[in-house]
Structure 1
């Protein structure tokens, strides 16, 4: 009887953990930015980006940078000038914040 109760409790706990949605760690919303490619401007976006994971944004290869970020997610976004979300040149953007064309970045990390 005790073994069965323990087994039921363990199975219930596992089922509860597995039932938690994976998107709980995601930032809900869209992070928009602008970048140049082939001499023309393009708009990029990250839809529901995962929290705690660095994203090297599209269009930042070589000497190119992204700019004019708009954080329309529900999490704080930290935009870094370097790839890989490293370095001491960064700017935090709270949910709903945006920055002008003068803010250059190559990677972003969501809290």
Structure 2
């Protein structure tokens, strides 16, 4: 009886400490954008949530786009030209270093 109890208690403790399913891309996704004075700035998303459309926050209220994205997360990033990720997938950036040029414009992104 004592051995059975220890086995069940050990299994329960192991189950409770096992890592769950990751719900965020780990790492940094960076991009460039022009501020209100026309100066180039660098923005980033750190450990962004997976499976959720993220509008680029610095340009959300402007009629402009971010550019030159770099995906240093551990997940694939799909960038979109619109604010709500509803257009066709525009471009996919591989994990761990996928990047685009100044010509790659984006307003939103989703991580897989």
Give the TM-score taking structure 1 as reference length.
Answer: 0.78
Q: Equivalents in 2 of 1:45, 1:53: separation in Å?
A: 16
Which 5+ residue runs of structure 2 have no aligned equivalent?
A: 1-7
Which 5+ residue runs of structure 1 have no aligned equivalent?
A: 1-7
Note the alpha carbon deviations across 1:12-71, whole angstroms, 9 max, x for none: 5xx83x97457x111010000001111111100000001011110023233210000000
* Higher deviation after alignment, 68-77 or 86-95: 86-95
> What is aligned with 1:58?
57
Query: Size of the alignment, in residue pairs?
Result: 100
CA contact (8 A) 1:59 1:65 kept: no
Q: Which has the higher helix share?
A: 1
> What is aligned with 1:83?
83
Q: Equivalents in 2 of 1:36, 1:21: separation in Å?
A: 39
> What is aligned with 2:42?
43
Structure 1 residue ranges (4+ consecutive) displaced by more than 2 angstroms after TM superposition: 18-22, 58-62
**Cα RMSD for the two superposed structures:** 2.2
Give the TM-score taking structure 2 as reference length.
Answer: 0.78
> What is aligned with 1:3?
none
CA contact (8 A) 1:68 1:104 kept: yes
Q: Equivalents in 1 of 2:40, 2:57: separation in Å?
A: 12
